[in-house]
Structure 1
Amino acid sequence: MATTTSTALSNRNRLLGFGLATLAAIGFSGKAILVKLAYYQPIDAVTLLALRMLFSAPFFLIVAWRHVGRKDLTPLTGRDYLALLILGLLGYYLSSLFDFIGLQYISAGLERLILFLYPTMVVVLSAVVLGKPFGRKEIVALLLSYAGIGVVFFDEITIQSAHLLLGAGFVFASTLTYAAYLIGTGETVVRIGASRFTAYAMLVACLATVLQFLFTHPPQALLLPMRVYQLSLLMAIFSTVLPVFMLSAAIKMIGSSHTSLIGSLGPVATLFMASYFLGEELSLAQIGGATLVMVGVLSLSLK
């Protein structure tokens, strides 16, 4: 009887983990849709990112405060604070800034596909910087992934603005900085703890974003239509805070491998949401390109 109960509980936890991972993937994907909707209003990337961070900061402050003074946690050293500073700026500030700028010029669907390339960049950077093995399987994965991006990119040349290359370049830079951030997080997260690391690193990014806004914009730049505040709040809650913690919970319940595989739903969700909410064309070329990208990335994830 006890074994049956334990098995049922385990199955329930796994089902919950898969559900949380799916919701996290959809939440992260919805960010591009909310950003594009906000750009229908008179707002620039720095101001929009500052609003997102301002609305997100209280949630991460609460999480950070809960970790203060806990005796069961390893005390932070100067090296830890330096790592949090660098990784917070790299993974949550620069990566987000480049992404928001890029979304001014390209479709939400293309943006999500380029961002989804980050595992391939992790493999390349790990080979170049850390000397990790790089063989035939990795080469095939790269060829498939970037061929898929090429298909979508050239399909959108005919329907996108003249700044398509500029936007794609910024989003690619976002993906590259995020990949570099992931490479640097491993040892730090283990030492600090996932939730504490995420909260502190996000607060670093929040502070950097707000400082950039204050140095580059007058205070009256925050006098915006109510629609912008609504979208920014939705972005903070449903595409930043909740997905971050749902992802952490999912990893605990079903493991990082299963969670990352479910994350492949992201580009698909973005394509369909962009078609429904933004009226972006969902062409056969986009579907074919997205398939190539996901096959290439998933071949690395499965490994």
Structure 2
Amino acid sequence: MSRTRCQDSAQKADSAIYKALLESTKAIPWKLDWHSMEFVYIGPQIEQILGWSPESWVTIDDWANRMHPDDRHWVVDFCVSQSREGADHEADYRALTKSGEYRWIRDVVHVMRDEDGNVEALVGFMFDIHERKRTELELVRLQKELEALSYKDGLTGVANRRMFDETLAEEWAGARRHRQPLSLILLDIDFFKQYNDHFGHVQGDESLRQVAQALAGAATRPRDFVARYGGEEFVLVLPETDARAAHLIAERCRNQIFKLQIAHPLSAVSQVLTVSLGLGTRIPGHGDEPTAFLRQVDECLYNAKQQGRNRLVSLA
């Protein structure tokens, strides 16, 4: 046998070995001619994972069209631009299966150049990362859910003190930046200790839930914010709200709670559950702090209780 024939036989054997190795892996090997944008090769594993036969992958359009519409634009733009630059890259996207579902795929791409440095082909592997991606997305969802719960009062369902502190700081900074009024309402359920002592904590908790929902129903604009401040105290943050509008919202809160008609036989001011409210409005200036404003509104609430409860006192 001639030396040339021996070399040809060795090359064919090597090629067969490489092909066998490629087709035995769970990843999907592929090669794309850069000039024609046609697939030179794609592994048979593609049919096992996505359902499409290797023969159906003819051009780059088949790859792009079998991609989730939400992923297609950025993935195609990213991969094409990276390939033109000659940069190896990878991308995660949802690929359409023949049955009409989507599976998460990771495409790892290597750019091949000719002797002059020009791009001549792309080779790579597609990896099925569907289960891993689904787990990652579920973890992200749970993390967001836990984060949301950390900002919610477990009893009443409205925001908690932590969320209030962050919201007040954020809205205060925005009001100062845009020179807009910010209003704050603090309210306290009148004689709530006596209510709890008489009806018990179970019914007391239920009344807190009812009050919280009444307040949420009274503050209906998109940025109106309601939180449980602590115990039987609640707070409302009202961005871009002047004193007159805030006064109307405060009275609406008081009326909504009165309409609940929650019996309170031990109240010294009414036969039903009532609240006392403190209200303040400010256009924050340079150097003004929200904590000082909060203390002033808290003093208004204190004055409302000192003046007989079941009333609203506003900052002068």
How would you bin the TM-score normalised by the shorter chain?
A: under 0.3
Of structures 1 and 2, the larger Rg is shown by: 2
Between 1 and 2, higher relative CO (CA 8 Å, sep ≥ 6) is seen in 1
Give me the TM-score of the superposition, normalised by structure 1: 0.28
Larger strand proportion of the pair: 2
Give me the TM-score of the superposition, normalised by structure 2: 0.27
Larger helix proportion of the pair: 1
